[in-house]
Structure 1
Amino acid sequence: MRMACRYFLIVFFYGIGAAFFHLPAVLWPFRMLQTISFQNTSATEIMGTIAFLGDVETHSLDTHTWKIKFLQPWTQSAFTPLKWEMLGQLFRASFIDFKKAINNMVAASNYSYPFVIQSFFFCEIGTDGTKRGFYKGAANGDDVLGYSTDNATWVVQKDTPLAVAVQDFLNRNKGTTANMRSLLLNECIDILESSLKTGNETLHRQEKPVAVVFAQEPPATTDSLLLVCQVTGFYPHLINVSWLQDEVALPSSRINSTTILPNYDLTYQIRSSLAIKSMETSHSYVCRIQHSSLDGKSLVILWERKHRYRVTIVVVVLVASILVVVAGVLFYLQKKRRQYEDVNQAISKTARQ
């Protein structure tokens, strides 16, 4: 579950989700993902609540005891034990109110069960010191509405009866809006600032990438070759992978790359590929990796060509060698046979005399 959450957050916040609020590029925002399943009016379950600082898992919520769990040894110092306990109870009260409000809105909008609601809480400190907070809600994977501390209003992202009902309710409910703003700009920012100080060693660790380049043989009907550069084991996630032909960088339009994917050891991987024609194989090709762990240098991996005619020559030489050995053995056996026949003839001749 935690691995799936980590993957989802990477894709969401470093990929398509970044366009939602036009966020500035900050390296260590604090984020929390909560998933709630609504089976019917009486069966509602929190499937998971987990928090991240950047891409490092920091906290989770035990919904049986409503206590905050600390996933890193340095994450507890942001608050006193009493305040952490109060925060857990705040989540409990918020969940009860949220469940009741959603069920009432579903009844009013004729929205049908079951469905899953995902909530994203996000706060950051910009390079200029500006503190910002955001909330984004999704139902069954579709954006429903969002909230930003910049304008302090709830905005519909998908015009559905449920989304409009939730927006109207929240914009009228000033207490809920004030609590959301306080949660994002106070508790969230406090956790962020404290964790940036106490978790410095973990957050700024550097793991060097390891890469290999190989060619994938195309179908017999195509006149091309696919060069693949597999890069793994690096941290942090920001990386640049490019291809060079005869020491000249190729345009990105010729390169296909996967998204940056997490490994189980809290590092990352990426796969970049380049398609070339058979007539282009005489050129040299290099995969170039640039990463913060390399101290300003680049990791360069050369594609080593394996010409088919060389393989053919090796096979021919091998077969010829085998034929020579076989011929030599046959010649030796034939010679021995003749010597044996000559000896027998001599013995027979002596016996007759």
Structure 2
Amino acid sequence: MLMRKPSNCRMKNQKSRKKSLSCWMYVMGVFAMREAEAAHHTHEILFTAVGTSKTLLGFTMVSFLDDVEIAFYDKKHQQLVIKEAWVSRALGADFVEDQQYRLMNNEIDYLWALQNWVQNDTLGKENHTVQIWHNCHLDRGIHVSSRIWCAVDGEDFCQMDEQINHWVAKKPEAKPAILLAEVIYCSKKVKRYLEDYCVQPMKNILQYSNVRDNVPPEVTVSQHDAPDGNVTLICTATGFYPRSILLRWEKDEQVVVWGQESSSGILPNSDATFYLQITLKLQSRNMETGYSCVVEHRELETPAIYPVPVKPTKVRPWHVALSILTVITMLLSCVVAFITWKKRKTESAFAVSPGSANK
């Protein structure tokens, strides 16, 4: 997805590249949030087979919805793993069981691909990789496009999309394979397959997640001091729905920050809500007060500001030692004063007793 850089992005201090970069990152974040709110969704499925022309050594499948992994399959365990329980409920037990069965049978298909797509390996002793990638797109619930393409040893082999409506060889060696694919996997079968295993599952997951009420994020902000003197600020938002959210760092109400930013990306929770964490790593010389995490979400009327908690000033070791020494000195002074007073009182008592006896 391409975005043009807005021309109205102006920073107060044009001499600072970091400030300009920070502004640009903020604008990109706003654009990303608006696009997410436009209800554009993508479902991607990647199959990877590794082996020789005689043996399939490895076979995996990974499924992503809007860049979030939702399912995984591995030949070693031969088990389809759905990452979240609510996704399983959205797909339905029958679909999950059917997909599990198909994946186990796909191992034979990918061994066939290794035998027929790999060229110049008559001995069959070298390992090769075959990958097939499907994707489909929805815009406001409407299926707008799908695509399927294949690669051998990391190079494009063949592909099909709805606009072309037939298989296209991406290298000369693929031409015999696509002639066979046109017979076995004609465009109608491919469209039906993508509808059943790419488009419809995505619709079911999105419809299931849309049943729940909107929920504002729960936000926590913390600070971690590293042994090397650097400081990491952590802002975590969780339990929010819908998915669209924007987190950013500000200092004294300005978007400009001096440090290294990172993000976990928006991840799903087990209850169909979402999670996002951003961090800001600062060098100790740049760590001052005034940093805040600003959160924008549909369920918040205005952007919410969460200041970084101010840590209490640490007492230096020599201050502690001086305080202890002062207390000990005071205690010793009191003890010496008490002993001196007691001694004088005793001497005074002995001096009075003889005179009293003579009387």
Q: TM-score range by the shorter chain?
A: 0.5 to 0.7
| Residue of structure 2 in register with 1:170 after alignment | 178
Cα RMSD of the aligned pairs, angstroms, is 4.9
| Residue of structure 2 in register with 1:229 after alignment | 234
Q: Secondary structure at the match of 1:72?
A: helix
Q: Give unpaired runs (5+ residues) of structure 2.
A: 1-35
Superposition pairs of residues 264-343 of structure 1, within 5 angstroms: 267-275=274-282, 278=285, 281=288, 284-292=290-298, 294-304=300-310, 306-307=312-313, 320-343=326-349
| Residue of structure 2 in register with 1:210 after alignment | 219
Q: Secondary structure at the match of 2:310?
A: coil
| Residue of structure 2 in register with 1:98 after alignment | 110
The amino acid that maps onto 1:298 is: A
CA contact (8 A) 1:241 1:272 kept: no
Q: Give unpaired runs (5+ residues) of structure 1.
A: 1-22, 157-162
Structure 1 residue 260 and structure 2 residue 265: aligned?
Answer: yes
| Residue of structure 2 in register with 1:46 after alignment | 59
Distance 1:217 1:130, change over 3 A: closer
Equivalent residue pairs, number: 312
Q: Secondary structure at the match of 1:210?
A: strand
Structure 1 residue 72 and structure 2 residue 88: aligned?
Answer: yes
User: Which whole-Å deviations, capped at 9, do the CAs of 1:147-201 have from their partners, x for residues lacking one?
Assistant: 5334345575xxxxxx764576337632335233332245432333344334433
Counterparts of 1:166 and 1:197 in 2: how far apart (Å)? 39
Structure 1 residue 193 and structure 2 residue 203: aligned?
Answer: yes
CA deviation after TM superposition for structure 1 residue 322, in Å = 4.9
Distance 1:299 1:292, change over 3 A: farther
CA contact (8 A) 2:119 2:173 kept: no
CA contact (8 A) 2:295 2:305 kept: yes
CA contact (8 A) 2:49 2:56 kept: no
Counterparts of 1:308 and 1:180 in 2: how far apart (Å)? 66
Q: Secondary structure at the match of 1:174?
A: helix
User: Which whole-Å deviations, capped at 9, do the CAs of 1:227-275 have from their partners, x for residues lacking one?
Assistant: 5124253546654332222222216x75522342758857534232153
| Residue of structure 2 in register with 1:250 after alignment | 256
Which fold has the larger relative contact order, with Cα–Cα distance below 8 Å and residues 6 or more apart in sequence?
A: 2
| Residue of structure 1 in register with 2:16 after alignment | none
CA contact (8 A) 1:124 1:192 kept: no
CA contact (8 A) 2:55 2:111 kept: no
Larger deviation, residues 319-328 vs 97-106:
319-328
Counterparts of 2:70 and 2:152 in 1: how far apart (Å)? 24
Counterparts of 1:84 and 1:245 in 2: how far apart (Å)? 48
Give identity over the alignment, percent.
13
Distance 1:124 1:349, change over 3 A: farther
Larger deviation, residues 236-245 vs 65-74:
65-74
CA deviation after TM superposition for structure 1 residue 118, in Å = 4.9
2:193 corresponds, among 183, 189, 192, to: 183
Distance 1:257 1:234, change over 3 A: farther
Q: Secondary structure at the match of 1:29?
A: strand
